[in-house]
Amino acid sequence: MRRVAVVGVGCTKVGELWDKSLKDLVVESATKALDDAGIDNIDVVYVGNALAQILQNQSNLGSLVADCLGFEGIPAISVEAADASGSLAFHEAYKAVKFGWADKVLVVGVEKMSDSSSEEVSKALMTFEDQDYVAFTGITQAGIHALLLKFYMEKFGVKHEDIAMFAVEAHKKASKNPYAQFRNLIKLEDIFRSPVVADPLRLLEHTTLADGSASLILCPLEEAKKLKLQPIEVLASSTATDRFFLHERADMLTFNSTVKAAEKAFKEAKISRDQIDVVETHDSSTILGVISLEDLGFVEKGKGANFVVEGNITIDGRLPTNTMGGLKGRGHPLGATGVYQLVEVVWQLRGEAGENQVKNVKVGLTHTVGGVGSFASVNILGCLG
């Protein structure tokens, strides 16, 4: 087994990018990552995407991406795990390098959502859940999050305002991220003035249509040392699943996929939770952000919202979280999101995070959820010298 490093990163701005196609987005982020690494050829590309088959009527993304990047003849692998597709692509690429199958691997996450109406996207997003018995009821992703939000408030006696603070924090950091979708600051009043999407979840608590692509290059750590930039080591990468139906889980407010993936990742990296300097977690809605921090083991169940209110997740807090705005602020281009999170942790580790730079970062963690917790991925990156 070989030690693996990230040697190049790149991404596009996130937003409704009407003048850019799926292919344009891929080329922009991948060429940035290649230039960042200072290389111009790769052995294999892994592509993470969630909905191109539905929203663009486009499949066979592996070959398409290899072609538009001009890499003729290389193997290309496209993977899908709902909105954790990018993280799964990274995980597979990591194994390819770790076990010696490839030396220079490109990971591309991409999603193009703004070509479709919000009703079409709403229907497409429900392909993450069982079609015959969950989507069939007419529930939306926001609706499922609303059930969790309500259940959480009832079970732990937590105020909605405290949970909604996750979005206020997200916009604060996104306001200083030039790549973010939402760079406006919001207050709690703004959230509670925004329309109810699904009772009691508000519009400003949830992510929306976003286009974007993020890419990175992996290679063996030994090779990475020869390249121009400081290599960032992948200390662990793990994925896990939970029961597919939320209603069949013993505890709906704990995603066992996250719990298991985190346990495996911490064991593989041989580090403890208090060694983590920055976290990029899956706040596709405020409640998922709160649940995720708890499931990752950073805070006790039921105390996640309070943890946020007490200021622990700010840039200079105890556990700087979603430092570039998270899914809510930076934006959530589904299959690209996991790769964005990794790119952002690499920026933090290299000291390139601009106004959102956290001091003295040695280890960072990313966490991505697919569907409503049926899949989760946890990665730990570090520069331990």
Partner 1 sequence: MTIASAPRYWREIKYRYRLIGSRCLKCGKIYFPHRHICLVCGHRKLEDYKLSEKGVVEVFTVIRRNYPLGYEKNAPYIVGLIRLEDGVKVLSQIVDCHPEEIKPGMLVELTFRKVKEDGKKGIIEYGYKFKPIFR
Binding site for partner 1 (CB under 8 A): 118-123, 126, 130, 132-140, 142-143, 146-147, 150-151, 154, 195-201, 203, 243, 245-248
Comparing CB distances to partner 1, the nearer of 146 and 353 is 146
Bridge partners, residue 81, by sequence: 83
Q: How far is the CB of 30 from partner 1 (least distance, A)?
A: 31
**What's the gap between Cα 11 and its chain centre?**
13
Distance CA 342, CA 160 (A): 30
Comparing CB distances to partner 1, the nearer of 64 and 146 is 146
User: How many Å is the maximal CA-CA distance in the chain?
Assistant: 58
Q: How far is the CB of 111 from partner 1 (least distance, A)?
A: 17
Q: How far is the CB of 195 from partner 1 (least distance, A)?
A: 7
Q: How far is the CB of 183 from partner 1 (least distance, A)?
A: 23
Q: How does DSSP classify residue 274?
A: G
Q: How many CB atoms are closer than 10 A to CB 101?
A: 12
Comparing CB distances to partner 1, the nearer of 150 and 273 is 150
Comparing CB distances to partner 1, the nearer of 54 and 74 is 54
First to last CA, the chain: 19
Q: How many CB atoms are closer than 10 A to CB 323?
A: 27
Q: How far is the CB of 120 from partner 1 (least distance, A)?
A: 6
Comparing CB distances to partner 1, the nearer of 135 and 227 is 135
Distance CA 384, CA 331 (A): 30
Answer whether 323's CB lies under 8 Å from 173's CB.
Answer: yes
Comparing CB distances to partner 1, the nearer of 72 and 132 is 132
Q: How far is the CB of 208 from partner 1 (least distance, A)?
A: 9
Q: Phi, psi at residue 304, to the nearest 5°?
A: -60, -45
Distance CA 101, CA 245 (A): 36
Helices 286-295 & 160-174, crossing angle to 10 degrees?
90
